């Protein structure tokens, strides 16, 4: 049985993309007392709502996934909102947890916290060598402050907070809303929609020369559970797959897997974002035995299949 099976666990963002998979992973590991706060009942931007949440459920572990997030377009349109809401949620959730003596706080950061020109593969020690990529810097810095807070609280109060850095995620239940989606769901939607409409071309942002690393969402959920069970140190830990792919090659792969046979038009007036993203994943394996298992092509197929099924049921746009 899992070492956390008998713990009372709060998962913020537990109805979201990653959160829903994490809750399933926790239940599958024998955790019987997992609480997912709903925004209609608890506004995590307000300290009194967070205090009420903790008083209502009395968690022993908090896993903080909730975030206001989106792709490059959403980040460019909402820098102030993304900074404030992500920062205030994390700061207050951790502070109220400390005040109540909660046993462990698991903070989820973002690969966007890394500097724009981080040497590849990204090592956790490189987090502070420069400024993040401009289009998502406010979001990335807000999430990175959780690391500063976790380390400061550990040093001053002995509070057990850990900080995990997942790379770009993909998989079933991702957001396919064009105003919020990241690159994989956006590309899948463009290809599937074009096939259904009979379009002969699709447009893709950027030059295709940027590279990204992608982690299947179920693998990420497993990594978070392993860290929650086994990791209790101040150092940040990457969660990734340990492989990069250029966006141009990703487009070719998704076009093939969806069966789209039209033209790809690259809009080079749109930003590529960070030039490269690829993580050093050795710390996660060393500290709590995490290694990604899902083959990338298999993961893409499952994501495409989910999206097509969801469209037929009216669950995805």
Task: Examine residue 41 and state whether it is found in any structural domain, yes or no.
Answer: yes
Predicted confidence (pLDDT) per residue in 192-209, tens digit: 999 999 999 999 989 999
Predicted pLDDT of residue 69: 78
Task: Examine residue 203 and state whether it is found in any structural domain, yes or no.
Answer: no
Task: Examine residue 269 and state whether it is found in any structural domain, yes or no.
Answer: no
Task: Examine residue 249 and state whether it is found in any structural domain, yes or no.
Answer: no
Predicted pLDDT of residue 22: 98
Average pLDDT over residues 162-187: 92
Q: Residue 142, CB half-sphere, CA atoms under 13 Å: how many?
A: 22
d(CA 143, CA 280): 20
**Residue 3 contacts by C-beta under 8 Å, 6 or more apart in sequence?**
229, 230
Task: Examine residue 301 and state whether it is found in any structural domain, yes or no.
Answer: no
Task: Examine residue 305 and state whether it is found in any structural domain, yes or no.
Answer: no
d(CA 260, CA 304): 12
Predicted confidence (pLDDT) per residue in 73-98, tens digit: 777 889 999 999 999 999 999 999 99
Predicted confidence (pLDDT) per residue in 48-77, tens digit: 999 999 999 999 999 999 998 777 777 788
Radius of gyration over alpha carbons of the chain, in Å? 19
Does residue 153 have an active-site annotation? no
Region for 212 from its dihedrals, namely left if φ exceeds 0, alpha if ψ lies in -120 to 50, beta otherwise: beta
Predicted pLDDT of residue 275: 86
Question: Which phi and psi (to 5°) does residue 91 adopt?
Answer: -60, -45
Task: Examine residue 86 and state whether it is found in any structural domain, yes or no.
Answer: yes
d(CA 106, CA 94): 9
Confidence of residue 317 (pLDDT cuts 50, 70, 90): low
**Beta-carbon count within 10 A of 152 CB:** 14
Confidence of residue 313 (pLDDT cuts 50, 70, 90): confident
Confidence of residue 1 (pLDDT cuts 50, 70, 90): low
pLDDT at 187 over 80: yes
Instruction: Tell me how many domains the chain contains.
Output: 1
**Domain of residue 100, CATH code:** 3.40.50.720
Average pLDDT over residues 223-247: 97
Domain that holds residue 230: 8-174+214-244+276-294
pLDDT at 164 over 60: yes
Average pLDDT over residues 30-51: 96
Catalytic residue among 114, 139, 153, 307: 139
Mean pLDDT, the chain, integer: 94
Task: Examine residue 60 and state whether it is found in any structural domain, yes or no.
Answer: yes
């Amino acid at each position: 049985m899992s070492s956390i099976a008998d713990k009372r666990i709060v998962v913020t963002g537990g109805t979201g993309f990653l959160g829903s998979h994490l809750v399933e992973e926790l239940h599958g590991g024998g955790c019987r007392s997992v609480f997912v706060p709903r925004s209609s009942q608890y506004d995590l931007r307000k300290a009194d709502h967070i205090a009420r949440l903790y008083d209502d459920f009395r968690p022993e572990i908090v896993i903080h996934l909730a975030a206001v997030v989106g792709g490059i377009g959403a980040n460019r349109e909402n820098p102030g909102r993304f900074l404030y809401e992500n920062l205030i949620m994390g700061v207050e959730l951790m502070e109220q947890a400390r005040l109540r003596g909660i046993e462990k706080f698991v903070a989820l950061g973002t690969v966007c916290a890394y500097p724009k020109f981080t040497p590849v593969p990204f090592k956790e020690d490189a987090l502070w060598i420069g400024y993040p990529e401009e289009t998502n810097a406010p979001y990335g810095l807000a999430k990175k402050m959780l690391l500063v807070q976790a380390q400061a609280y550990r040093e001053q109060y002995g509070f057990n907070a850990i900080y995990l850095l997942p790379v770009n995620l993909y998989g079933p239940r991702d957001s396919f809303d064009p105003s919020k989606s990241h690159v994989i769901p956006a590309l899948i939607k463009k290809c599937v929609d074009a096939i259904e409409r009979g379009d002969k071309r699709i447009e893709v942002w950027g030059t295709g020369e940027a590279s990204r690393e992608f982690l299947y969402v179920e693998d990420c959920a497993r990594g978070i559970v392993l860290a929650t069970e086994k990791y209790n140190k101040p150092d940040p830990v990457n969660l990734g797959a340990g492989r990069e792919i250029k966006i141009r090659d990703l487009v070719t792969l998704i076009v093939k897997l969806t069966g789209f046979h039209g033209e790809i038009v690259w809009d080079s007036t749109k930003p590529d974002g960070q030039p490269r993203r690829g993580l050093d994943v050795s710390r996660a394996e060393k500290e709590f035995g995490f290694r990604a298992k899902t083959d990338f092509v298999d993961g893409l197929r499952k994501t495409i299949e989910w999206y097509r099924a969801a469209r037929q049921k009216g669950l995805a746009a």
